[in-house]
C-alpha cells in the first residue's frame, strides 16, 4: 500500500482527493492536515466520507508527512514550496496541486504570483503533470507540478493543432468559463450564491495568472512562443470548465476530426466526441475526463475547439491521482473509473 499524506484537506481539491482515494485499491491515507480544523474527524466535516476514513485533521508537520511515500499539496500557492524541499530531501515524492512549480521562469512566476520563490532549484526538477504530454517524465519524477484547471482544458484543446503546425500560433483565443468551486472553499464574498447565480461575468481580462502557464505549455507544443488572449468567466455552476478555443488555420482543409481522434486515441482520459457534437460540462462532472469537439464553421479558416473538464477532477485532484498512478507504476486509471454525473 502506498502511504499518502494530504496537506490542505479541508479545501475543495483536498476533499476531492479523499473522495477519489476512498475508491483507490492501492493507497492508504495516513495524514490529512488542516490548521483550522485540527482534531476534527474528516467524516464529521465531510459526511460523504463517512465509513471511508477514520482520520482526524492534524496541523501540518513535516516529520509526520515524511513517513508517507507521497504527499499531495492541495494548498494555496506558496505553501508547497515552504515544505517540499525538506520532504524531497527525505525521499518523499511530492505532487503540488497549486502553482508553485508550474512556471519554469521563476522571475515570471514571481511577477504573476507576487511572491519570491524560495526554491528555484526544485522548479527546475519539477515535471509538469499533464500526462498527455509528459507521461514518460512523470514516471520518474519526484516532484509534480499539477496543471491549473483552465490550463488543462485549454492545452488539451489546442495541442493537436499546434503540434502539427496547422494554425497561426500568434493569434490564439481561449474563451473560458468556470464553475464557482474554482475559487476554492475559502473564496471571498464574490463566490456567494447571491453574487454568482443568475449572472455571468468575465474577470481578469487584463491578465490572469494562468496566462503564463498556458503560454508556456502551448509554446512548447508549437516549438516557438505563441500569442494568446485568455478570458476567464465565472458562471453559475458549482463544477466545470468550458473552454471555447479559436485559431486561424494556415491551410483550411478537412481532416481535423481524425487529427484529434488520432492524437488522443490512446489517452484514457481524453474523449474526442463525434463530429458535430457539443460537449457539456455536466457530462464530465465528477469524472477525470476531458471531452473535446473540433469544428470548422462554414468550412472557413477558423477552427473552433470545445473542451470541457471538471475543474476539481481532471483540473485538479483527478489529474493529481492520475500522476500518482503513473509515478508508482500503477494502472493509470486506478481509482479514477468514475462516470460523469448526469443529470
Ligand X SMILES: CC(=O)N[C@@H](CCC(=O)OP(=O)(O)O)C(=O)O
Ligand Y SMILES: NC(=O)C1=CN([C@@H]2O[C@H](COP(=O)(O)OP(=O)(O)OC[C@H]3O[C@@H](n4cnc5c(N)ncnc54)[C@H](OP(=O)(O)O)[C@@H]3O)[C@@H](O)[C@H]2O)C=CC1
- The binding track of 121-160 with respect to ligand Y, each residue x by CB under 6 A or -, is ---------------------------xx-----------
149 is catalytic: yes
Q: Name beta bridge partners: 248.
A: 302
When CB distances are held under 5 to 8 angstroms depending on the partner's kind, the choice from ligand Y, ligand X, none that residue 11 binds is ligand Y
Report yes or no: 63 and 38 within 8 Å, Cβ to Cβ: no
Q: What share of the chain is helix, strand, coil (3-state, %, to 5)?
A: 35, 20, 45
CB of 6 to ligand X, least distance (A): 16
Pick the binder of ligand X from 41, 55, 173, 183 (CB under 6 A).
Answer: 183
Give the number of other CB atoms < 10 A from CB of residue 295. Answer: 16
> Per rule CB under 6 A, is residue 11 in the interface with ligand X?
no
> Per rule CB under 6 A, is residue 122 in the interface with ligand X?
no
Closest among 337, 319, 336, 340 to 74, alpha carbons compared: 319
Task: Give the residue with the Cβ less far from ligand X, 176 or 327.
Answer: 176
Binding segment toward ligand X, per CB under 6 A, in 14-22, 136-144, 178-186, 302-310? 178-186
Which helix (H) or strand (E) covers residue 210, if one does? helix 210-222
Burial readout 96-129 (b: 16 or more C-beta within 10 A, e: otherwise): bbbbbbbbbebeebeebbeeebebbebbeebbbb
Task: Give the residue with the Cβ less far from ligand X, 77 or 169.
Answer: 77
Identified catalytic residue from 149, 176, 194, 290: 149
Q: Name beta bridge partners: 21.
A: none
When CB distances are held under 5 to 8 angstroms depending on the partner's kind, the choice from ligand X, ligand Y, none that residue 234 binds is ligand X
Residues lying near ligand X in the complex (CB under 6 A): 77, 98-99, 148-149, 178, 182-183, 210, 232, 234
- The residues annotated as belonging to the active site are 149
Amino acid at each position: 500500500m502506498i502511504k499518502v499524506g494530504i496537506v490542505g484537506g479541508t479545501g475543495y481539491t483536498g476533499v476531492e482527493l479523499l473522495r477519489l482515494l476512498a475508491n483507490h485499491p492501492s493507497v492508504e491515507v495516513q495524514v490529512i492536515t488542516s490548521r483550522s480544523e485540527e482534531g476534527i474527524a474528516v467524516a464529521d466535516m465531510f459526511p460523504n466520507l463517512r465509513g471511508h476514513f477514520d482520520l482526524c485533521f492534524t496541523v501540518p508537520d513535516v516529520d509526520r508527512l515524511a513517513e508517507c511515500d507521497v504527499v499531495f499539496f492541495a494548498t494555496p500557492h506558496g505553501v508547497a514550496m515552504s515544505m517540499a524541499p525538506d520532504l524531497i530531501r527525505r525521499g518523499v515524492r511530492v505532487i503540488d496541486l497549486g502553482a508553485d512549480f508550474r512556471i519554469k521562469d521563476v522571475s515570471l512566476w514571481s511577477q504573476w504570483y507576487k511572491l519570491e520563490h524560495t526554491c528555484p532549484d526544485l522548479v527546475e526538477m519539477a515535471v509538469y503533470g499533464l500526462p498527455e504530454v509528459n507521461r514518460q517524465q512523470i514516471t520518474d519524477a519526484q516532484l509534480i507540478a499539477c496543471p491549473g484547471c483552465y490550463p488543462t482544458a485549454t492545452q488539451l484543446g489546442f495541442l493537436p493543432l499546434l503540434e502539427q503546425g496547422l494554425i497561426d500560433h500568434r493569434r490564439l483565443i481561449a474563451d473560458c468559463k468556470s464553475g464557482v468551486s474554482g475559487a476554492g472553499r475559502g473564496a471571498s464574498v464574490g463566490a456567494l450564491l447571491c453574487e454568482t447565480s443568475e449572472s455571468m461575468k468575465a474577470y481578469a481580462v487584463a491578465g490572469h495568472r494562468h496566462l503564463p502557464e498556458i503560454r508556456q505549455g502551448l509554446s512548447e507544443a508549437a516549438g516557438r512562443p505563441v500569442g494568446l488572449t485568455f478570458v476567464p468567466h465565472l458562471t453559475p455552476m458549482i463544477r466545470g470548465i468550458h473552454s471555447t478555443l479559436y485559431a486561424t488555420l494556415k491551410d483550411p482543409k478537412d481532416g481535423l476530426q481524425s487529427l484529434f481522434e488520432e492524437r488522443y486515441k490512446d489517452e484514457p482520459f481524453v474523449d474526442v466526441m463525434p463530429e458535430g457534437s457539443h460537449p457539456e460540462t455536466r457530462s464530465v462532472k465528477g469524472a477525470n475526463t476531458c471531452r473535446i469537439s473540433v469544428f470548422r464553421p462554414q468550412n472557413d479558416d477558423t477552427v473552433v475547439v470545445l473542451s470541457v473538464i471538471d475543474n476539481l477532477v481532471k483540473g485538479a485532484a483527478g489529474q493529481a491521482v492520475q500522476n500518482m498512478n503513473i509515478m508508482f507504476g500503477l494502472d493509470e486509471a486506478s481509482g479514477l473509473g468514475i462516470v460523469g454525473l448526469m443529470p
